[in-house]
Chains A and B, each alone.
Chain A
């Protein structure tokens, strides 16, 4: 495989991906909003278990509005990385800066979407989407309702506003979770394998919808997956994680226009290239 065949769709950087690098699409003028430097995470063993080195040493930069995908095999530390950015966990060593500041706990600037939705079953679809707006305490009830209804429509949930989550399909539930997160217009949206529990059809439609949302929103997406195809269809940049303890082995910029057809020739090219690069498929 020569570099020439890849020029149309992607660009590759190996090793320490935090250093200044030529960036075809975004350019150096786009500010770095997340800077990770030699981040290490060790989970102390409880009840006599040995400590787990989840993340060995990772460094990376994320620029504003960049759709970054963390790609890597199961158990390699992708979720842990996301949890540290979300402020739910703290790194053991290294520095993790968000807009130049050390991360201190979760905040409404970073919304999170989990694989298993984590909807509030005691709230209707509309109630779930309104949750974050209520917590902000700066809107009237009418404003909250109006905004929440906007996101009901936006995520294709019309007609389900008053349904309880337990009555919805997996794809619908994830749409509610995404709507709930987008409704407060966070600066970052963190997504942890959000489509892994969905059937192929629902997943496909959500990939397209999230691509479109990413195009129009002024939001930086951090998206965890172990699915190469999903990564290529969504990412501006893919950070490839090694097996645990995590290191970042590649940074790949994908410059195809979105939404991307899963079976276009360019995409299949990138897919083939990625698989040759990673060696074994990270899916197993």
Chain B
């Protein structure tokens, strides 16, 4: 959103009012009450999750399924309180793992995006470059991330570098592919129009290509993040010295510590959901607000 200020130079306060109210109307109920009361869809979603937890707890408490196979939500809460406290080993293990995994994920993702977006755009704009680069993208797309982990461990050791590199590599490919396709689909008249205003390459990039391809761009980010997230958790369990959510899940499985496994699964799901929500929010603040992407509300 950083180019919004430049998009409407010198706009008075009323502009801000207009845009924020329209964003609210899109994000929540049309009457704009969504800031004060949870929307109906949020209520329904929360209710169904709570019901699920209740049934789960009932099943676990009834003893039909042994607690080792299926610990209940209350067990997980207790476990979470312990692992998040000072008496776990290492202390504050849960927070530590979340921080480690997230920093690898976000750091690696940022590096991937930083290179993948320009590569995708340049390939889309220049046919010779596409002819040189795209075969590699096709080949790398066909290699599962975990297949390169052994080689990365040889190259970079069983430390942070391997986890980090896996994120970079797995996020890179889908971002390039989506950006490449997205930019190629931009109506050339946008580029013509901007150039007929004397726009320079940098201006065309920031003011035209990026916003015009925002939907496929975000889709590529989403895919890249999704791939990277899965590969990272798996890789952490292989790079046995480095900690992180995947590592702890793997360790717990060695001791049949199912409560920790389930707890980390829930944590993984919640973090994944939060990341997905962030992308959805980015979509609502851009393409949905501009009217170029349906809000998806029915």
Contacts and interface: CB of A to CB of B under 8 A. Distances in A.
Interface of B: 6-11, 14-15, 18-19, 22, 187, 189-190, 192-200, 203, 207-208, 211-212, 214, 286, 289-292
Contacts of A111: 196-197
**Chain A CB within 10 Å — which of B9, B197, B291 has the most?**
B197
A146 B9 CA distance: 10
Interface string A112-146: 10101010111110110011101110000110111
**Chain B CB within 10 Å — which of A107, A112, A122, A145 has the most?**
A122
Contacts of B200: 135
Contacts, number: 98
Contact of A106 (B10, B192, B292): B192
A226 B91 CA distance: 78
Interface stretch (A50-58, A162-170, A252-260): A162-170
Given A106-B192, A166-B291, A135 B203 contact: yes
Nearest to B8: A127
A86 B207 contact: no
A136 B290 contact: no
A136 B198 contact: yes
A191 interface: no
B8 A106 contact: no
Q: Which 9 A-B residue pairings sit nearest by Cβ, starting from the closest? A: A166-B291, A145-B10, A108-B198, A132-B197, A122-B211, A141-B9, A127-B7, A141-B10, A127-B8
Given A118-B187, A122-B290, A162 B9 contact: no
A155 to B, nearest CB: 17
A110 interface: yes
Interface in A151-205: 162-167, 184
B200 to A, nearest CB: 8
A184 B195 CA distance: 13
A111 B195 CA distance: 10
Nearest to B211: A122
A181 B230 CA distance: 49
A144 B203 CA distance: 17
Interface in A80-130: 86-88, 105-108, 110-112, 114, 116, 118, 120-124, 126-127, 130
Nearest to A118: B189
B292 A166 contact: yes
Interface of A: 86-88, 105-108, 110-112, 114, 116, 118, 120-124, 126-127, 130-132, 134-136, 141-142, 144-146, 162-167, 184
B201 to A, nearest CB: 12
Contacts of B8: 123-124, 126-127, 130, 162
A148 to B, nearest CB: 8
A146 B190 CA distance: 25
Contacts of B197: 108, 111, 131-132, 135-136, 184
Given A126-B11, A127-B8, A121 B290 contact: yes
A162 B7 CA distance: 11
A131 B194 contact: yes
Contacts of B199: 135
Contacts of A136: 197-198
Contact of A86 (B192, B214, B289, B292): B192
Contacts of A135: 194, 197-200, 203
B218 to A, nearest CB: 13
9 contacts: A107-B198, A108-B197, A114-B189, A118-B187, A120-B211, A122-B7, A124-B15, A144-B10, A167-B291
Given A112-B193, A122-B292, 7 more contacts: A111-B196, A118-B190, A120-B207, A120-B212, A122-B286, A142-B10, A166-B292
A246 B10 CA distance: 47
A106 B195 contact: yes
Contacts of B203: 134-135
B15 A121 contact: no
Contacts of A116: 189
Contacts of B22: 164
Contacts of A141: 9-10
Contact of A162 (B18, B208, B291, B292): B18
Given A108-B196, A162-B15, A122 B10 contact: no
A164 B9 contact: no
A166 B290 CA distance: 7
A121 to B, nearest CB: 5
Nearest to B190: A118
A139 B275 CA distance: 40
B214 A112 contact: no
Contact of B196 (A86, A120, A130, A144): A86
Contacts of B211: 120, 122
B208 A120 contact: yes
Contacts of A106: 192, 195-196
B10 to A, nearest CB: 3
A112 B7 contact: no
A105 B195 contact: yes
A118 B9 contact: no
B9 A130 contact: yes
Contacts of A112: 192-193, 196
Contacts of A164: 22, 289-291
